[in-house]
């Protein structure tokens, strides 16, 4: 970051010393993982810039938005409808939770043996190290697991938290309940922003978020080609940035990238070798800067062709219907779209296993790697169903469990390489 953002960080109440330590780690890690890739698309330069300014220019933009009376809403989950926040003139940002941070502070209020994602998002707040967190006027939690549900109670001691109750099944009464939850959330957003959501503002917001989803779908369609014009790591980075970048700018930049990628496909310029095993990555989400598993896979001669996870297809694979005249009609369409997300909180969750079988065929995958965070019970348990279904369809699967630390990288790389050798044979 070329500009001096320290006065801004100080005004947000960050612990500048701890924040400096974080920033000193991120750029070298990013350089090793991303900038040393060969034959990288030219238009990835924009996304490199966005990451380089992750705590700089984008935070400045959010502060300018707030200075004009706007509100910033933070979320951790793809169940939080961006359409509603945007329709009220707010900005929704995904919050940091992809690195071990603030463990000493967190373990004073949470058990030591809890998943890395929960420890991370609590650590960013308690250690005062995330400027996105400090920009937020409201945090939106959700009940996708018991750990998060209880952690949000504690988080509410430090910052206002609105919790969305996620149904655990998809019966008609569950759908009605979910619609009621979004009605309540819409009222909360209106209260915080001071703006009434109108049919016109909600319709416009739905179209803008659908445009973002559509361009991500366009990008992922290109990954079905034999010649892969972009790496899985770069695709993951784009999907991560989608959760906090300016919506219209992001959509425009990804469309420009897709034009370059389409040219690369026509010219046969791929990032993969003809014999590179094609892998689908599935499991728990991977927030910035959690690139460990993707990097290990792609530095072991394989290429990731799709991510069946919340930082991946679950985030953008279904569009919201743009029909409807009233706010309630459009809100019903939003509810219908979000409840189809194949999260492991649902029981049963056949949609996820069926999706993996379909993706394996469409993306011509040679195997699937299921990555679960340690202590993430829903995904660790559901891995049993994933394994059984893929085995029934003759699709090789590797199950791994990890955290945000680097200590297990050697062991994981050995297991991944053995899995890839098995696929080749």
Judged by DSSP in three states, 281 sits in: strand
* Nearest Cα to Cα of residue 199 among 18, 103, 79, 329: 329
Mean of per-residue pLDDT scores for the chain: 96
pLDDT at 48 over 70: yes
pLDDT at 25: 82
Position 81 confidence tier, pLDDT thresholds 50, 70, 90: very high
Distance of CA 195 to the CA centre of its chain: 28
pLDDT at 337 over 70: yes
pLDDT at 28 over 70: yes
Position 102 confidence tier, pLDDT thresholds 50, 70, 90: confident
Cα 375 from Cα 377, distance rounded (Å): 6
Angle of the 247-267 helix axis to the 199-221 helix axis, nearest 10: 20
Record the tokens describing residue 274, joined without a space.
């003809």
pLDDT at 2: 61
Please compute the mean of the pLDDT values over residues 163-185 and round it to a whole number.
98
Q: By the 8 A CB rule, do 371 and 293 touch? A: yes
pLDDT at 3: 83
Q: By the 8 A CB rule, do 186 and 331 touch? A: yes
Please compute the mean of the pLDDT values over residues 392-413 and round it to a whole number.
96
pLDDT at 1 over 70: no
- How many CB atoms sit inside 10 A of residue 142's CB? 22
Question: Where are the domains positioned within the chain?
Answer: 6-424
Please compute the mean of the pLDDT values over residues 161-181 and round it to a whole number.
98
pLDDT at 383 over 90: yes
Q: By the 8 A CB rule, do 202 and 301 touch? A: no
Outline where DSSP puts E strands in 181-273: none
221 or 105, higher pLDDT: 221
Record the tokens describing residue 336, joined without a space.
């219908």
pLDDT at 69: 97
pLDDT in tens, 191-212: 999 999 999 999 999 999 999 9
pLDDT at 377 over 60: yes
The region of weakest confidence among 63-72, 112-121, 145-154, 185-194 is: 112-121
pLDDT in tens, 296-320: 999 999 999 999 999 999 999 999 9
Quick one: the chain helix, strand, coil %, rounded to 5? 55, 10, 35
């Amino acid at each position: 970051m070329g500009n001096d953002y320290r006065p801004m960080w100080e005004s947000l109440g960050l612990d500048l010393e701890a924040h400096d330590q974080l920033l000193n780690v991120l750029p070298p890690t990013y350089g090793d993982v991303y900038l040393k890739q060969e034959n990288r698309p030219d238009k990835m330069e924009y996304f490199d810039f966005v990451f380089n300014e992750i705590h700089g220019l984008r935070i400045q933009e959010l502060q300018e938005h707030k200075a004009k009376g706007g509100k910033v809403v933070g979320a951790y989950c793809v169940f939080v409808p961006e359409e509603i926040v945007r329709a009220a003139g707010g900005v929704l940002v995904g919050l940091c939770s992809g690195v071990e941070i603030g463990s000493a502070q967190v373990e004073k209020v949470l058990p030591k043996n809890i998943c890395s994602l929960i420890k991370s998002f609590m650590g960013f707040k308690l250690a005062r190290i995330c400027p996105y967190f400090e920009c937020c006027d409201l945090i939106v939690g959700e009940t996708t697991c018991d750990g998060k549900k209880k952690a949000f109670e504690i988080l509410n001691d430090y910052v206002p938290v609105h919790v969305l109750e996620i149904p655990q099944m998809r019966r008609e009464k569950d759908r009605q309940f979910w619609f009621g939850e979004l009605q309540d959330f819409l009222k909360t957003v209106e209260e915080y922003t001071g703006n009434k959501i109108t049919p016109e503002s909600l319709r416009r917001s739905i179209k803008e978020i659908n445009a973002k989803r559509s361009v991500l779908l366009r990008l992922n369609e290109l990954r079905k080609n034999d010649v892969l014009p972009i790496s899985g790591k770069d695709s993951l980075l784009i999907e991560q940035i989608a959760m906090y970048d300016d919506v219209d700018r992001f959509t425009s930049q990804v469309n420009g990238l897709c034009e370059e990628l389409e040219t690369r496909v026509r010219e046969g310029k791929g990032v993969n070798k003809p014999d590179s095993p094609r892998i689908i990555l599935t499991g728990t989400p991977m927030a910035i800067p959690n690139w460990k598993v993707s990097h290990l896979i792609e530095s072991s001669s394989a290429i990731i062709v799709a991510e069946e996870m919340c930082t991946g297809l679950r985030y953008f694979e279904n569009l919201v219907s743009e029909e409807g005249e009233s706010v309630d009609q459009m809100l019903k369409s939003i509810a219908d779209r979000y409840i189809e997300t194949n999260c492991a909180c649902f029981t049963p969750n056949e949609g996820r296993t069926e999706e993996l079988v379909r993706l394996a065929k469409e993306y011509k995958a040679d195997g699937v790697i299921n990555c679960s965070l340690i202590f993430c019970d829903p995904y660790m348990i559901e891995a049993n169903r994933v394994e059984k279904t893929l085995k029934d369809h003759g699709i090789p699967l590797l199950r791994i469990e990890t955290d945000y630390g680097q200590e297990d990288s050697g062991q994981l790389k050995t297991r991944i390489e053995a899995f890839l050798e098995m696929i080749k044979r």
